Structure formats: structure tokens, C-alpha cells
Structure 1
Amino acid sequence: MIDLKQILSVSLILFSVIDILGSIPIIINLRKKVGHIQSEKATLAAGVLMILFLLAGKSILGLFGIGVEDFAIAGALIIFALGAEMILGIELFKPDPEASSGASIVPIAFPLIAGAGTLTTILTLKAEFDQVNIAIGILLNLVFVYTVLKSTTWLERKLGKTGLDVLRRIFGIILLSIAVKIFKSNAFPMDIV
């Protein structure tokens, strides 16, 4: 049953986990490497992943003998690599010149938008909220993600080179921290700090 309170709660939780605003420096950096990011393709791919996980996430992972923790650790490693690239100014993500839409799917659709954190959050939300309300929350977030992806050129002009460089390094450190947190909480779940 559709419940506006549940939709609002789910939307806000997913908004904070997806953190598309925090990913702007990464997206701009990738756009500079590959030339163009297909916002529609990235948003659609992320949406398909999120809805698929909503409907059959644990079953899909179970088919491969993968636990939610294993999936989260793999996502953490990708996020760590992106963060290191942003801080150190090195190039770990090498774009394939023949696949111009490649950056739209990896790493933008996965793991930036529909990453391990987002997908495990969706699995967790199923215990507390109705599936239809989670689906609506996902769709609302995808509309916002698409808007941000379409606005990166404008945002880049507003921030300027120095502003982008500072943001890129700050968000690089934040990404590294998120990756370490995801890794720690999934690799050592019983660890009491």
C-alpha cells in the first residue's frame, strides 16, 4: 500500500546513501577522460540494478555463492580505487576508446549510484518498508540523479578549475573513508571498536 511517510523516509535514506552531490567531482573527472557521459544510460542502468536488487537481491547473490558482505567489500575496493585516483592524481580507471559509453555504466551507474552501499541498503529497507514504497523512493532518487548528471557541465563552469580541484581532493578523502568503513564493517562484523 502506498504510504507517503514511508516514501519520504526511503527517499531520504537512499538520497544520503547514493550521495550524488558528493560524486560530482568524480563524474566531472570521468567526463574529462571519456569526453561524454550518457546520463540516460547511467541512470537507467543504476535504476535496473536497484529494482533488480529490490526484487531479488539476496537470491541473485546466493546463486553465485556471494554474501551481502562479500558484495559490499567488492564495492568498497572499487570506491577506494576511485578515491585514491582523485587524491593522488593517478589514473587507475582507464577508459576504453572504443566503448564511449563504458564510463556511463562503470563506475558511474555502479558503484557510484547503485553501489554496494545503495544495494545493501535496499535489501535492508525491505525489512521495514513496503516494496512499492521503496520502488517509488528509488524512482524519485533516480530523477534527482539524472538531473545532477545532466548539470555537470554547468556545475563545472560555476566551480572553476581551482574549486573542482579542491572538491576532487576533499571528496577523494571522503570516498577513501567510506571505502574503509564499508570494508571494516563487512570484513570484521564482530569487531568491537
Structure 2
Amino acid sequence: MQLNFKEIFTAFMILFAVIDIVGNIPIVIDLRKKAGHIQSEKASIIAGVILIVFLFLGKSILNLIGIDVNSFAVAGAFILFFIALEMILGITLYKQEEHDSMTTAVFPLAFPLIAGPGSLTTLLSLRAEFRTENIIVAVLINVIIIFIVLKTSSKIERLIGQNGINIIRKVFGVVLLAIAVKLFAHNIKALFDVV
């Protein structure tokens, strides 16, 4: 087992930008108002389990349905691109559905808000670049931060205000856009090399 702080930090930052839990605070608060209560522990644990299971089984699942990792990563790059546009431009492309308190912890909090197509795609592309144990540590750190943010979302909103959240969203949106472009360029090149 070789833990590399640089790899852990880079993987953590990429996942943190993709998951964008701080930028999602307004959605979390909205869900809390609709459902009355959010099970922060359950949502964090389920999201962490989905991410780690996909890290190990994602490639096999894709092979089973006949999709290679590069194609999945290119599709994920498009998703990240649109998520980034939402964050930067303040528009909504993803349609929210109605939820009850029973399903809020899993849907849409754990999936697809935290462990969504963007973060799952990112995990597969990270796996191609970094050691698995470093990615797992990065995932676990993110899960801890997600739990803290979910638990204290109302306080965070009061502390940094709506303007603060909007600024954070836009900054992470630009970071995410850059990640999407890099992911797309790297994997589209790999696809054409195969062809």
C-alpha cells in the first residue's frame, strides 16, 4: 500500500469540485424544506459506498454492457460540461423531481447529487492516473466533508450568505469546466487512437 499525499490531494480536489457539495447547499436546503428532515449520515454513507463500489466494479459493469471506459469518460465530460455551465451561468438544465422524506437520503441526495454520473466518470478517469488506495482515501475525505456540510448546511448558508454560495459555485464551475475539457480531450484522443 503506497499512499501518496500529492495524488490524494489532487484526487480529493477533483472529486470535491465535481461533487460540489458547497455549491449544492441551496439544493440541500430546498430538499430539507420539502422533506422536513435530511438523514445526513445515511446519505453520506450511501454515496461513499456507491463511489467505492463503482471504483472497483465500474469498468466491469461497462464491459458487461459493451461500453469502453473512454466512451463513458467522454459522455461524463459532457455531463460535467453541462453541470459547470449550470454553476457558472446560474441556469437549471437538470429537472428536479418531487421527493418524500423516505427517499431523500438516497434519491436525489446520495444519487445523483453526490454520487452522480459526473463523479462516477471522474472516478474511472482518476483510476487510470492514480493508485486505487489514494483514490479511496480521497473519496473518504470527501464523504466526511459531505457529511459535515449536510449536517451544517443551514449554518453555512447563514454564515457565508447567498452571495458567498454563488461565488463559490461560479469558482468551482470554472474548475469543473476545465476538468471537463481535459477529460474530453484526453479520452477523445484515446478513442481515436484505438480506432
**Equivalent position of 1:35 in the other structure:** 36
Displacement, 1:32? 1.1
Distance 1:166 1:21 in 2: 10
Report the TM-score, using the length of structure 1 for normalisation.
0.70
Distance 2:53 2:151 in 1: 24
SS state at 1:121 partner = helix
Kindly provide the amino acid, as one letter, of the partner of residue 3 in structure 1: L
Verify the 8 A CA contact 1:18 1:112 in the aligned structure 2. yes
**Equivalent position of 1:122 in the other structure:** 123
Verify the 8 A CA contact 2:73 2:122 in the aligned structure 1. no
1:2 and 2:2 matched: yes
Distance 1:107 1:73 in 2: 21
Do the aligned partners of residues 79 and 12 (structure 1) sit closer, same or farther apart at CA in structure 2, a change above 3 Å counting?
closer
Displacement, 1:130? 1.1
**Equivalent position of 2:138 in the other structure:** 137
Verify the 8 A CA contact 1:47 1:142 in the aligned structure 2. yes
Verify the 8 A CA contact 1:95 1:102 in the aligned structure 2. no
**Equivalent position of 2:47 in the other structure:** 46
Stretch deviating more after TM superposition (4-13 or 117-126): 4-13
**Equivalent position of 2:98 in the other structure:** 95
Kindly provide the amino acid, as one letter, of the partner of residue 72 in structure 1: G
Structure 1 unmatched ranges of 5 or more: none
SS state at 2:129 partner = coil
- Over residues 4-36 of structure 1, what are the superposed CA-to-partner deviations in whole Å (9 max), with x where a residue is unaligned? 322222222222222211111111111111111
Distance 1:106 1:144 in 2: 19
Percent of pairs with identical residues: 42
Report the TM-score, using the length of structure 2 for normalisation.
0.69
Stretch deviating more after TM superposition (117-126 or 101-110): 101-110
Distance 1:136 1:166 in 2: 29
Stretch deviating more after TM superposition (132-141 or 103-112): 103-112
Do the aligned partners of residues 115 and 74 (structure 1) sit closer, same or farther apart at CA in structure 2, a change above 3 Å counting?
farther
Displacement, 1:106? 1.8
Distance 1:128 1:73 in 2: 16
**Equivalent position of 1:60 in the other structure:** 61
Structure 2 unmatched ranges of 5 or more: 190-195
CA RMSD of aligned residues (A): 3.9
- Over residues 77-100 of structure 1, what are the superposed CA-to-partner deviations in whole Å (9 max), with x where a residue is unaligned? x969x98xx857xxx534344xx2
Distance 2:119 2:53 in 1: 12
Displacement, 1:125? 1.1
Displacement, 1:2? 2.6
Do the aligned partners of residues 127 and 23 (structure 1) sit closer, same or farther apart at CA in structure 2, a change above 3 Å counting?
same
Equivalences, count: 180
